[in-house]
Amino acid sequence: MHRAFILAITLATLASCSKHNDLTTEKPDTATNSQKAAPVKALAERTISFSGINWTVRDEAGTSGPDDNYWSSSTSNVWVDASGHLHMKIRKDAATGRWYCAEVTSQQSFGYGTYVWKIEGRVDQLDKNIVFGLFNYKAGDDGHHEVDIEFARWGNNAWPNYNYTVYPSSGDPDSNAHHEFELALNGTYTTHTFYRTSSAVSYRGYHGHTEDINNSFFPWTTPAGFPVSTLALPVHMNLWLFNHLAPSNGQEVELIIHQFIYRPL
């Protein structure tokens, strides 16, 4: 196993609620801090196979969004282990002092149905400058056609760490549907889902690697009439630094995705 601060995800105590530094009093615009941004010059693509799907591992020659980070496809940042589990890591390069982030994107698109991630890692204890995202996204159309689960405090330890956001199919990106919760886990495994239809997106998390309703937490559905995306979209997973700030605790971060499942309608 690679050296790092390895985090583990599961069983949650819950509290509901409504993103910059501990000194920041104004939350950042969710549209400008969502997962995307046109890449700068891309390097040769690396492909991995995970959960029966081919994924492109992001690697760029310079910085790019979100938040002007460095991205690496190195096997020190992204790898699949002998058990078929995907590891994603933010690491500090000893030679340059740069922090390298990680992202993978499915090479196929997915439409209506259920999206399931089985995670290992204490996402409730991520440093305030770390963002872990599980999402659909249409490249080149920032603020539209996006469905997010984000584990992040957006640079402020006082803000909730578990975020659902759905961007509209058109119109003002600031009209996104958004809800936040405070996640506090006492174990190492969780399952996170959203369910897309032509009229709504519904979210739910679960204690453990299960979808037993008795183990569920934080259900939420977009408001009636909200213009959800009707497009088939790629799936992204990324681990990055808010405002390209190094982790305030100075530690590298590794998370493990045991499985991604898509069940079409």
Model pLDDT for residues 192-232, shown as the tens digit of each residue: 999 999 999 999 999 999 999 999 999 999 999 999 999 99
Parent domain of 223:
5-264
**For residue 61, is pLDDT > 80?**
yes
Least confident among 50-54, 58-62, 83-87, 159-163: 58-62
With bands split at pLDDT 50, 70 and 90, how would you rate the model's confidence at 45?
confident
C-alpha 71: how far from chain center: 15
Average pLDDT, the chain: 88
Q: Does residue 38 register a pLDDT over 90?
A: no
Place of tokens 């058109």: 170
Place of tokens 């990324």: 238
Output the pLDDT for position 186: 82
pLDDT digits (tens, 9 = 90+) for 87-144: 999 999 999 999 999 999 999 999 999 999 999 999 999 999 999 999 999 999 999 9
Quick check: 72 pLDDT over 50? Answer: yes
Average pLDDT on 66-70 reads: 97
CB 229 within 8 A of CB 219: no
How many CA atoms lie less than 13 Å away from 208 in the CB half-sphere? 7
Q: What is the DSSP string of 222-254?
A: PPTT-----S-EEEEEEEEEGGGPPPTT---EE
C-alpha closest to that of 168 among 204, 135, 200, 192: 200
Given a cut of 50, is residue 37 above it in pLDDT? no
The pLDDT score that the predictor gives to residue 20 is 34
SS3 242: helix
- Looking up residue 48, the CATH number of its domain turns out to be 2.60.120.200
CA atoms of 67 and 20, how far apart (whole Å)? 12
Structurally, the chain folds into a number of domains equal to: 1
pLDDT confidence of residue 25: 41
Q: Which two tokens stand for residue 213?
A: 């309703």
- Looking at residue 94, its amino acid is A
Does the pLDDT of residue 26 top 70, yes or no?
no
